[in-house]
Structure 1
């Protein structure tokens, strides 16, 4: 560009404030970023002062970016605007703030910045200092600025120093050997002279090149002797963990406590409650073990931290049980800094800044998502991923999101970010491509509509949310072309969906499946997980054995090694293809169905996954109850865990703890009183059991109901139109809203319910699912699923109504109030909306009696 060329016009030239230095560098150019590498900040300060004075006399606008812990470089001066920026808020917050300041000050501003090396004290990661410079330097260049920076070269790795050198326009080393101070230009873009890059001594305002090679050699020898007393060029992150090792060896309790706290704050979390747990359950040796399994630097994220803390709670508080019953893990972690490095490496920071602005929060997300899917990994990350694959061999891998805010107290992000299976078969280069694509998919999921809405609703849209990754070997066995665990489940230590008055919510419950745990955490379309209260594991929420079989698991999620994908297979097909499945420990033979199958020459026996043999074994319920109680006590809060199980020949389980997080619970209110007699004309519905949310006492001001009689006549595309219209209705603020519909809300199969996204209905107070349409649409009691997590985190009460069942009354014709309802058969006609603000409904639920009633008060 002409502004930086050797023949540029005088208007593009800028003085350093020292004519002699201008002679050496052939002056500065508009757009130059100047990096001073010094060992003493005073050596930077002495060059800053004349530069500021020269710029001020030329009428330039000067901004001092103040972020270091060192004394100010610039005295208070009316000609200089100081911007204080706090680096302790994290890389994204700091870099975003500097970016916006540069935008605000616009073209032509001049900048003096504090020492970049001070950012290490805030971030503890050298790579991010380089990434910060790679973000702001091109932006400053683009806006015709001149900006000065300093750094201490012996505090940074060669990789960081090289990246800063590659990015900047001008770099100058300042060498001090006692009183002998010399400057040596290292880079001066588009400038050249025979002696420009030699060391220069200052003499009477002039900077004279050290033209005698003997003098230059003596100078270099003296500098090398001084360098021997400094630490080698290691990444600050590596030096931090060297201090951990030193503290362990020296047995200095005070030093150990200080470095322990330091590492927890840059590796584990910023959440005070998670940090309290980590202080108690992750010691220095644990932190070193995490570092040894980590790619990059930064946080390991909430999901990884939760898993590690939970394992330590079990092994610390119940070692006699869990040393034997808890399987070892060999998880790996891709640090949160790798996410930012990926953004910077692919030039996506401007897109991030546009998306972080209020007006671009949603509109810029799709473009950014595509950029994340198409990006490439920095070489140093890619080489580490190759080594990771060497470690796992050809075992399948699960790449799991583990963002900074994820799985914390109050913010589970359940199902908001992707987890991706990598089948990990084929040539090494193909396996690496598949792993990289899986990581990009998880990164891109940060820009999904559900994730964006979730963050915005919780006031997290402007908080730093870097995506770390938890990478795990998939627990399971090879069965020919298929790979799957024996069983998997979701356990919760507090059962607020007890369907029987005898059940104790404190006993907890579990949602069990055979095969991969995907079917335990998601609402299963056309299939059912086994829901089991741990104090009454034999008592199922069904009326008879036929219903129990009907609403059991018929489909399994497995990894197909031949096709290279996650697939769903009927149990009958998998039983036929795989003879060594542990069915005897997980299911029971359906004798009548087996007799019918023999008569029809179909494969026998016919298995039903009831999980009762596992219950009868005794160890499973005892172990899981112990696990949940121990973790709840350790967390001092109800917990939600995901696990897989490995069964031995006797059916005894070993647990692999995949995830642990604080359970999102709807607040338990004081006991409520339901009227003994509610006139039939005032009752909308009443049910014994099949609701959740603890004690409920709500005034309902609006009801939106999907009419099953109309809905059944609609096409698939029209049913999706209904879902969109419901979302539009919900977003119209008319007070506390109850949503009533046939079958399952949030299903991806319109024949099973209304396929709304949770983001579309997040504003409702109550969600009601009704068994309608001749039994085709049945509520899914998916306690423990991601959809359930969304409900309880958002404080949404839930009820399932079975109008033809015992202890259930549903009278939709009793709805009254201002109504909007079209006639005919159309998506619009399927939706009834009732404005009840003049005469609200009352929803009252008692968790003790498991009685729920919705009625007009007399």
Structure 2
């Protein structure tokens, strides 16, 4: 590699500071990166000193990049700029900092770097040391610099040493055997002489080639003998896990604790709360098991860590229940270092640096996303992916995001990054291509608008966020052409959407679906999951049986093995096509609808997914309640889990826990008092239940309302215009804003509500959904979905209003100067904005009484 050609003109030459060494190497060239492979850092230091003195006397700017644990190589001088860089912040932060410094110092600067091998103590893998060099070396070359580096070759793998050699322009080995020290140039780009690459001894300032082969052989034999008891050419990562095995054999508590801490800090997390959990629940055997299922190195990411910690909490604290009731997981992990290796391998680091800048954070994201989607995998990763597919055979698999910050305390990233189902059918090469495409999609989703806004809002836009992957066998059964689990769901240990005053929020709740869990975690656009309070599992938030059936699940997400993709099928169709679905354990026959179907010659019976048989079985509710309480106690924080169910012939459930994260909550502050008798003319709305956010106490200074009567007359295209205009209005910050609209905010189906993206309304204080437009648009009690997770994390209060229902009053005419003219139907006419700074509304909710009111205070 490494450059565009040689130039021997004097102005392009640079001295090493030692004329004898210049003779050996034919001098240095502008653009050279010089790597010294040494066994003793003093051997590097003795060459650095004359180089720096020579460069200083020539008036060069000299920058010392200081990051090692060893004593400084250069003493402080006025013409030397020392830049201290913390390597503990991770590969991206460190490499990004060096990149910015190179940009700032510009052309012609000279660099001296600490020993690269010291980065292993911070990163625990020399793969990333090699990637760092592959990033900065070409950039330094482009800017006409000269940069010196050192490393200890016996601490690095052959792959890393080869990559550094391929990338650099000059590489010199320093061999030491007692007092016998020799240098041997290994590479000198665009230079050649008959003896250049022989070992050389220094004699009176000259470096003389060792032209006696016997002499050279004796030195080499002595070096090999001295290294017999070392472990050369092993990745630091591999040596670290060899120490894990050694600590287990030693049974020394202190050694075990030390090694465990070292591994957790480079494998699991940097977050102190997650690390505390991992110390309690992930022992050395667990860490070795992770390593055995891992491709590459680095972090396994928050989603994978949360799943593993949660499983260990259950098996540790309730083994009598969960040894039987918890299915073994079959997961693999693509480490975070593989993400960085992908960037480097595809030349995407410059694009990454442009995107990480303040000006390029949004504007450069699209280009980087395209690069991620078009990238190719390093050969060593591709081979491991082939082996992974051999392990899973032809079972469907799920490729899930598991970034460093994901599923942590306060940052769930719910729905921000992609997860991709693969049916995993066909020839091996086709399955590998599909897996690679899926990984690229997840990588590229880090540059989606929603993910970028999410990170920006939480101050994470400049923090390292490498994407690891959790790859799992999809839990389920083959049903002919379809593959699906019996049931799936989301469980939360705190029910902040309790719709009945008898319900205890601490009892938790579940959101259940038949089939794949996508319909439990995503806000369903034309269907409904079953929302179940675990202390009153038979009590539904509906007025009658017809409404319960209407707002139940009618569509299932399944994997279609023939079409090779995730697809949605009506329950009625699947019930006819598949004879062995567990409908009798999850639903009930609608006798009236079945009789009508028979009279019309339609397929019967008609099933309704009420999940009441699962409730009556008894074990499901008891086990899920126990699971949530145990995990909340382990996390010492409310939790949010995703699971699938595998039912036996009697309907008894076994749980497969696929995700666990701390539940984001707006808070449990003391309830603000709601006036006992609010005058009717001062009340905008009031509801019993149907709100979320715990205790709410907000002063509303602006209301943006979508008029349902106008909205109903708009075309689908115009409704998207409404969503865009609402986003623009929200961004015009005028204080605490409340959105009121028909049906579901954030839907992708304009006939069901306003299709805004969450990123466009993330700054509001409260979101109100109203059942309007003749019942076509109704709020969705979809707590546990990604959209609601966004609301909770962002601290947005949520209210669902059913004006025709019990315990609900809604009087939009109380908004000042409201326009009641609905004859004109345009996107602009559908949106009404009210500035209430002179007379704010008060929004108050009490989570205990489940009473909420929005009114003008006295």
For normalisation by structure 2, the TM-score amounts to: 0.99
Counterpart position of 2:451: 451
CA distance in 1, matches of 2:674, 2:66: 62
Counterpart position of 2:612: 612
Q: How many residues align structurally?
A: 858
Distance 1:185 1:821, change over 3 A: farther
CA distance in 1, matches of 2:100, 2:470: 32
Could you tell me whether the CA contact under 8 Å between 1:355 and 1:365 is conserved in 2?
yes
Counterpart position of 2:333: 333
Counterpart secondary structure, 2:829:
coil
Counterpart position of 1:664: 664
**Alignment deviations for residues 616-656 of structure 1 (CA, whole Å, 9 cap, x no partner):** 00000001000000000111110000000000000000000
CA distance in 2, matches of 1:786, 1:817: 36
**Alignment deviations for residues 779-835 of structure 1 (CA, whole Å, 9 cap, x no partner):** 001110001100010111011011111111111111016999998211011000000
Counterpart position of 2:306: 306
Deviation at 1:668, TM superposition (A): 1.3
Counterpart secondary structure, 1:677:
coil
Deviation at 1:216, TM superposition (A): 1.6
- Trace 1:547-562 onto structure 2 (pairs within 5 A): 547-562=547-562
CA distance in 1, matches of 2:212, 2:846: 92
- Trace 1:252-331 onto structure 2 (pairs within 5 A): 252-331=252-331
CA distance in 1, matches of 2:484, 2:821: 49
Counterpart secondary structure, 2:362:
coil
Counterpart secondary structure, 2:185:
strand
Could you tell me whether the CA contact under 8 Å between 1:3 and 1:9 is conserved in 2?
no
Could you tell me whether the CA contact under 8 Å between 2:2 and 2:138 is conserved in 1?
no
CA distance in 1, matches of 2:726, 2:695: 27
Counterpart secondary structure, 1:472:
strand
Counterpart position of 1:677: 677
CA distance in 2, matches of 1:696, 1:231: 61
Deviation at 1:8, TM superposition (A): 2.2
Distance 1:545 1:784, change over 3 A: same
Deviation at 1:118, TM superposition (A): 0.2
- Trace 1:291-690 onto structure 2 (pairs within 5 A): 291-690=291-690
**Alignment deviations for residues 550-574 of structure 1 (CA, whole Å, 9 cap, x no partner):** 0000000000011110000000001
Deviation at 1:230, TM superposition (A): 2.1
Counterpart secondary structure, 1:211:
coil
**Alignment deviations for residues 705-752 of structure 1 (CA, whole Å, 9 cap, x no partner):** 000111011111110000000000001111101000000000000000
Could you tell me whether the CA contact under 8 Å between 1:821 and 1:831 is conserved in 2?
no
CA distance in 1, matches of 2:838, 2:5: 75
Counterpart position of 2:729: 729
Counterpart position of 2:230: 230
- Trace 1:80-119 onto structure 2 (pairs within 5 A): 80-119=80-119
Could you tell me whether the CA contact under 8 Å between 1:4 and 1:190 is conserved in 2?
no
Could you tell me whether the CA contact under 8 Å between 1:710 and 1:826 is conserved in 2?
yes
CA distance in 1, matches of 2:348, 2:433: 21
Counterpart position of 2:143: 143
**Alignment deviations for residues 410-456 of structure 1 (CA, whole Å, 9 cap, x no partner):** 11000000000111000000000000000000000000000000000
Counterpart secondary structure, 1:358:
coil
Could you tell me whether the CA contact under 8 Å between 1:782 and 1:788 is conserved in 2?
yes
Counterpart position of 1:131: 131
**Alignment deviations for residues 763-789 of structure 1 (CA, whole Å, 9 cap, x no partner):** 001100000110010100111000110
**Alignment deviations for residues 476-501 of structure 1 (CA, whole Å, 9 cap, x no partner):** 00001100000000000000110001
Could you tell me whether the CA contact under 8 Å between 2:710 and 2:822 is conserved in 1?
no
Counterpart position of 2:777: 777
CA distance in 2, matches of 1:48, 1:732: 57
Counterpart position of 1:711: 711
CA distance in 1, matches of 2:210, 2:341: 40
Counterpart secondary structure, 1:22:
helix
Counterpart position of 2:27: 27
- Trace 1:787-826 onto structure 2 (pairs within 5 A): 787-816=787-816, 824-826=824-826
Counterpart position of 2:79: 79
CA distance in 2, matches of 1:846, 1:171: 70
Deviation at 1:232, TM superposition (A): 2.5
**Are 2:57 and 1:38 equivalent residues in the alignment?**
no
Deviation at 1:165, TM superposition (A): 0.3
Counterpart position of 2:854: 854
CA distance in 1, matches of 2:438, 2:660: 23
Distance 1:754 1:76, change over 3 A: same
Could you tell me whether the CA contact under 8 Å between 2:425 and 2:561 is conserved in 1?
yes
Deviation at 1:529, TM superposition (A): 0.2
Could you tell me whether the CA contact under 8 Å between 2:486 and 2:582 is conserved in 1?
yes
Could you tell me whether the CA contact under 8 Å between 2:64 and 2:113 is conserved in 1?
yes
CA distance in 2, matches of 1:697, 1:2: 62
Counterpart position of 2:243: 243
Deviation at 1:696, TM superposition (A): 1.2
Counterpart secondary structure, 2:828:
coil
Distance 1:826 1:16, change over 3 A: same
Counterpart secondary structure, 2:558:
strand
Could you tell me whether the CA contact under 8 Å between 1:117 and 1:152 is conserved in 2?
yes
CA distance in 2, matches of 1:845, 1:393: 53
Counterpart secondary structure, 1:53:
helix
Q: Aligned-residue CA RMSD in angstroms?
A: 1.3
Could you tell me whether the CA contact under 8 Å between 1:5 and 1:191 is conserved in 2?
no
CA distance in 1, matches of 2:115, 2:847: 60
Counterpart secondary structure, 1:566:
strand
Distance 1:4 1:506, change over 3 A: closer
**Alignment deviations for residues 246-270 of structure 1 (CA, whole Å, 9 cap, x no partner):** 0110111111111111111110001
Deviation at 1:7, TM superposition (A): 5.2
- Trace 1:732-743 onto structure 2 (pairs within 5 A): 732-743=732-743
Counterpart secondary structure, 1:182:
strand
**Alignment deviations for residues 297-332 of structure 1 (CA, whole Å, 9 cap, x no partner):** 110000000000000000000000000000001100
- Trace 1:755-766 onto structure 2 (pairs within 5 A): 755-766=755-766
Could you tell me whether the CA contact under 8 Å between 2:557 and 2:568 is conserved in 1?
yes
Could you tell me whether the CA contact under 8 Å between 1:817 and 1:839 is conserved in 2?
no
CA distance in 2, matches of 1:273, 1:215: 59
Counterpart position of 1:64: 64
Could you tell me whether the CA contact under 8 Å between 2:306 and 2:659 is conserved in 1?
yes
Could you tell me whether the CA contact under 8 Å between 2:697 and 2:844 is conserved in 1?
yes
Counterpart secondary structure, 2:363:
coil
Counterpart secondary structure, 1:829:
helix
Large movers: runs of 4+ above 3 Å:
1-7, 817-823
Counterpart secondary structure, 2:468:
strand
CA distance in 2, matches of 1:229, 1:55: 40
